[in-house]
Amino acid sequence: MDWTPQTDGYCEQIGPDSWATAAGLAAGAILLALSLLLRSADLRLCQQLPLGTHFAWHLINALMLGYDDRSLSAARA
């Protein structure tokens, strides 16, 4: 019995721009981490920032989704 993992052409599905795809997904991961940081600090920063950071982490989440969508869409094209 063969226990090697089967990729079924996964690398071919990503395409030749796999480094560009990885860079886009890494940028999305950094944006997600920044968003989570702002989300975690929201209650503490409400004293100093009257608007808080709620709007900022929603905007950063939207940017993260955009980066991920663009990266994965370009990889499939």
Hey, what are 12's tokens? 């071919």
- Asked if residue 27 has pLDDT above 70, the reply is yes
Secondary structure (3-state) at 5? coil
Q: Kindly tell me the burial class for residue 72, based on how many C-beta atoms sit within 10 Å of its own C-beta (0-12, 13-18, 19 or more).
A: middle
* Domain definitions of the chain by residue range: 15-76
pTM, two decimal places? 0.68
- Asked if residue 71 has pLDDT above 60, the reply is yes
Where does residue 2 fall: left (phi above 0), alpha (psi -120 to 50 degrees), or beta otherwise? beta
| pLDDT tens profile 3-26 | 555 555 545 555 556 778 888 888
How much is the pLDDT for 34?
Answer: 92
Please report which helix (H) or strand (E) contains residue 36, including its range: helix 18-45
Identify whether the C-beta of residue 45 lies closer than 8 Å to the C-beta of residue 52: yes
| pLDDT tens profile 56-65 | 889 999 999 9
